[in-house]
Structure 1
Amino acid sequence: MRVLVTGGAGFIGSHLVDALLARGDTVTVVDDLSTGRDGRLAAGAGLCRESIMEAAALTALARRVRPDLICHLAAQADVRISVADVAGDTGVNILGTVSVLEAARAVGARVVFASTGGALYGAIDAVPSPENARPEPAAPYGAAKYCAEQYLGLYNRLYGTAHAVLRLGNVYGPRQDPAGEAGVVSIFCGAVLAGRRPTVFGDGKQTRDYVYVGDVVDAFLRAADHGGAGVWNIGTGVSTTILELLEAIGRTADQTVQPVFAAARLGELQHSALDVTRAGRELGWTARTALAEGITKVYRWIEAREPVRGEP
């Protein structure tokens, strides 16, 4: 296929680009490089440095490239930033998604959209959360992603398209910046390797569903090949506390990790995990990478000080 990947120079997007190229697809990346890095991209991927907020330019690019599929990963993905700048988060995650949908409509392309799991479901009783749970987002980021999902559904009803949604858990893996503001596995591994005590916000008993980036990429490929509309949770179904995560990192590092505790942050959930039954049934997908294995891959990648594309 001809595939356009928004946010393709990002952490998840660059792994997806690799997989698409490896199976013989023609790939064009749209990324404004505000958080993405062109060094993450493999040879063979064409990069257009453009923002999804530039609707006319995005549609013009789609008319030139004529993609069969658009994988939409470009986003403002930091919960804390969404709380501090609601309008900015709304602009990127809602209006930017509408721009992508209009570009897809101009050329008859199908869209597979990277949404969020925990941030969308919020503090509900059903954990692991199924796709039919009523969303109660606790932060603007989750609300914006849910609103963007509604636009995908609207386009499916209005124009007969077959756009699909993947609600992702907490994705981790190599190429996730250990000096960034998001991505606790990489941040914690980077701190341990630097001889610093990781900072835990809250009591450390909050839980997340950590899913390895390679498994997420597999889900994108399966959703692409599925060809139909759908909403699928992509996680492990397992709740892991921050303290358990630190213990696992400590086993990889062969040391006891002693965190520094700080006040909990506004808009962040206490508990989150995703029910992935539907993805298994309809996509034949399941997460295959155990947390200990994935943590080791991240730790060794940072330890080796490889270039940004490097793998251990």
Structure 2
Amino acid sequence: MKVLVTGGTGFIGRWVTKKLLEDEHDVWIVDNLANSRTNNIEAFNDFDHFKGFTEGDIKEPQTLKALFKKGEFDICYHLAASINVQDSIDDPKTTFENDTIATFHLLELCKKYHTKLVFMSTCMVYDQASNEKGITELDPIKPASPYAGAKIAAENMVLSYYYAYDLPVVVVRPFNTYGPFQKTGGEGGVVAIFIHNRLDGKILKIYGDGTQTRDLLYVEDCADFVVSAGYSDQANGEIINAGTGRDIAINDLALLIAKDPGKIQHVEHIHPQSEIPKLLCNYEKAKNLLNWKPKVSLEEGIQRTEQWIKSQKDSI
């Protein structure tokens, strides 16, 4: 197939691209490099099916029009987004424009070319898990940050094109994803940040009391899930979760990585109003619809991520 990946130089996007190339699809990437770098995709130049990278902003309709005219894509995996919760609180307009308005421009072209759209949403749209069975796609949503609000708005636009125009679309909601190529600074990549700081001999800082839990999904498992959603006709018109079905408190995660309570420090939370106390995924729908389940345990995933971070340090 001919496939476009928006945000394809990003952390999850580069793994989605890698999986598509291994499956021998022709793949194009568009990314504005606001949250990534081209080093992430250097290895793809060795693939015959990699058709190139366009540096551009998907809020600019002309950028997208030129790509669609050239590619006439079968599927678009839409991963480009502003993803930082605190940034969305500080500057909600930018997040709304990047995550919602840009998605509208993409939908219009997908409709014109009848291109299936896989929309990358987030577990941050949910309210907290209320039991040990985990959050299903039918559980309540709660836009506790402008980031979550922009993603929910975009989800609804995406699904409206399925119902109004019979456009094949899927909304995917992966839980907290980690692994190689994730940034080791800033917000979001808690596993990568903790590992990076431990290797540098720094204190691991936890926002708040550390009792908040996360369901941590290894990035290659996430990429397999996202790609599978694009391949499946059964997934059309659906919202689908992906996670491991196991959550861990940030306190316990920090101890697992630091191996020393003396290396852990609690600091004041930067956005307690947008914190979700318990994130635990129920991935039964993905299992039933896509025959998908996670393969990499948290312990193995941490080990792989640490090896990658060490290799980056060694190469500097």
TM-score by length of structure 2 reads 0.92
Distance 2:264 2:141 in 1: 32
Distance 1:59 1:12 in 2: 24
Instruction: Quote the residue 1:262 is aligned against.
Output: 267
Q: Per the alignment, in what secondary structure is the counterpart of residue 302 of structure 1? A: helix
The match for 2:194 among 183, 188, 191 is 188
Deviations 1:179-225 (A, max 9, x none): 23320000000000000001110011110110000101110221111
Q: Per the alignment, in what secondary structure is the counterpart of residue 121 of structure 2? A: strand
Q: Which amino acid aligns with 1:263?
A: E
Instruction: Quote the residue 1:238 is aligned against.
Output: 246
Distance 2:107 2:31 in 1: 16
For structure 1, which segment, 218-227 or 9-18, has the greater mean C-alpha deviation from structure 2 after superposition? 218-227
Asked if structure 2 preserves the Cα contact closer than 8 Å seen for 1:59 and 1:102, the reply is: no
Distance 1:12 1:134 in 2: 26
Instruction: Quote the residue 1:103 is aligned against.
Output: 109
Cα displacement (A) at 1:273: 1.4
Asked if structure 1 preserves the Cα contact closer than 8 Å seen for 2:4 and 2:30, the reply is: yes
Distance 1:257 1:19 in 2: 40
TM-score by length of structure 1 reads 0.93
How many pairs align?
304
Asked if structure 1 preserves the Cα contact closer than 8 Å seen for 2:5 and 2:79, the reply is: yes
Asked if structure 1 preserves the Cα contact closer than 8 Å seen for 2:175 and 2:242, the reply is: yes
Q: Which amino acid aligns with 1:174?
A: P
Asked if structure 2 preserves the Cα contact closer than 8 Å seen for 1:219 and 1:285, the reply is: yes
Instruction: Quote the residue 2:97 is aligned against.
Output: 91
The equivalences for 1:49-128 within 5 A come to: 49-117=55-123, 119-123=124-128, 125=130, 128=134
For structure 1, list consecutive stretches of 5 or more residues without a partner in the other structure: none
Cα displacement (A) at 1:307: 8.6
Cα displacement (A) at 1:257: 6.0
Asked if structure 2 preserves the Cα contact closer than 8 Å seen for 1:246 and 1:257, the reply is: no
For structure 2, list consecutive stretches of 5 or more residues without a partner in the other structure: none
Distance 1:67 1:209 in 2: 33
Q: CA distance change for structure 1 residues 285 and 63 in 2, over 3 Å: closer, same or farther?
A: same
Asked if structure 1 preserves the Cα contact closer than 8 Å seen for 2:10 and 2:36, the reply is: yes
Asked if structure 2 preserves the Cα contact closer than 8 Å seen for 1:123 and 1:137, the reply is: no
Confirm whether residue 247 of structure 1 aligns to residue 252 of structure 2: no
Distance 2:300 2:102 in 1: 35
Taking every aligned residue pair, what percent have the same amino acid on both sides?
32
Instruction: Quote the residue 1:297 is aligned against.
Output: 304
For structure 1, which segment, 186-195 or 263-272, has the greater mean C-alpha deviation from structure 2 after superposition? 263-272
Instruction: Quote the residue 1:163 is aligned against.
Output: 169
The equivalences for 1:300-311 within 5 A come to: 300-305=307-312
Asked if structure 2 preserves the Cα contact closer than 8 Å seen for 1:116 and 1:145, the reply is: yes
